[in-house]
Amino acid sequence: MALPKSGIIIPRRSIAGMEGMWAKMWDPPTTSPATPELCAPTNPVPAFMQSIGLAKVSRLNTVQRELIDGVTITGWDGTPLTCMCLGDKDIPLAKGGTYPAPTIRVPRGVVFHAETVGKGPPPHTIHWHGIEPTPMNDGVGHASQEIGQYIYQWQPNFIGSYFYHCHRNTVQHFEMGLFGFLIIEPPDAYLGGNAGGYPRRTAASLAAFPQFPGFVAGDLASGDPHAYTVPYDYEALWVCDDMDSYWHNIIGQEAKAWYPAILTRPGVDDQFWHGHFHDFNPDNWFITGVSVSNAPGVTGTIPGGVVVPAALNSGVTGMQVSINATTNNTILVRVLCASYNSMQVTFPVDVVIIAWDGRALGVPPLTRYNYAYKVPANTPIRYSVARRIDALIRTTTPVNSFATVEFFNTRGENVPGREQIVKTARIPINIL
């Protein structure tokens, strides 16, 4: 392991005989070949979904995304941090890019198109994390389409919490802010009179938890769009992220800082212009783009009353970060670990975990292997980068407290005596 800011360069494996791949990596084409699937919905559908008649295409859903837009955000001490983000020219608030990127909400079963444009170096993709498209639309660098200009297409099969991110030079591009949240909703989510507000529904199996009213067990094969779903009255989105200001300052000074200086043998004696991208030392923390106050090692609190604008939430008004709700109502909290450190989240009240990583626990065809479960108040839930949980809260008594998100030191977390919490963030929860 290199010492922090040591100047030591870690050599990479030789790519002798792979010069063509090298050219693709560092001198990419400016346009992408057309996908064969722009007009016909030919993405795969799991056999289970086919067997119960859920593969039928209901309609087309299209968004557009631009990679990359330079965005400057402010750290806890006022330091400007340069991010490379996804933008949407059709949304005024997102025209220059946002951190995180605008949340995409898609009904299950529609054919989804993302019209994408890659701007500036280096090449990019969009990987739809947890979705199961064709390889051409999966957005994995070197293995699927790199943009250029491209239209991704897929058809979502499972309701839940996902996210999308650049999967090309992932370690750097993800850290620089090239990601956003992706929510798959019931197929009728935008067909009723409450398309832009609450209550809404999400997938769950809650026969063992009668405190959540409105749960429909039903039968997925019946065609009922609410089968195995539960309504929720409030929704909170927690995107938990850490940043190394040194990395961001390098990118702010020179956008090509991640390019190598090629000497005589590519992959053998080339060097990056700055040799510290193997050395990640976070000194800023964010919850859904909101800076966590105070210095490293000191507990910080995000403000109350933080709400995600509808324009950045696919038109749905009222998605919260800090929670303000009322008793005897159902609150859905979607949590994404966008941190390179592992982390744990602790709620001050009992919660029921209804989904991990986009898959609802106990919902067919996965009923043999998992189920929704209760996590008692003040019990930490530990997880690592890219993982998501969906948690339900419903209480009959008022709550005026905080959830905590604790970020660990990745270097020492599995070494006895060296495990260290480097930052604790508090998120207000106010239930009247």
Predicted pLDDT of residue 414: 57
Digit-coded pLDDT (tens) for 54-87 = 666 667 788 999 987 789 999 999 999 989 899 9
Predicted pLDDT of residue 370: 93
Digit-coded pLDDT (tens) for 186-195 = 989 988 767 8
pTM over 0.85: yes
Segments in 129-201 forming alpha helices (H): 170-175
Whether 279 has a pLDDT exceeding 80, the answer reads no
Predicted pLDDT of residue 124: 82
pLDDT confidence band for 387 (50 / 70 / 90): very high
Digit-coded pLDDT (tens) for 301-322 = 999 999 999 999 999 999 999 9
Average pLDDT, the chain: 83
Superfamily of domain 234-244+280-431: Cupredoxins -  blue copper proteins (2.60.40.420)
Whether 269 has a pLDDT exceeding 80, the answer reads no
Least confident of 22-26, 66-70, 272-276: 22-26
Whether 43 has a pLDDT exceeding 80, the answer reads no
Predicted pLDDT of residue 34: 56
Rounded distance between C-alpha atoms, residue 238 and residue 387, angstroms: 12
Predicted pLDDT of residue 369: 86
The average pLDDT across 388-417 equals 87
CATH number of 25-41+50-185: 2.60.40.420
Residue 23 CA, distance from chain mean position: 30
Least confident of 117-121, 210-214, 235-239, 380-384: 117-121
For the chain, the structural domain boundaries read 25-41+50-185, 234-244+280-431
Percent of the chain with pLDDT over 70: 77
Common-topology check for domains 25-41+50-185 and 234-244+280-431 = yes
Higher pLDDT, 29 or 59: 59
- CB-CB neighbours of 158 under 10 Å: 20
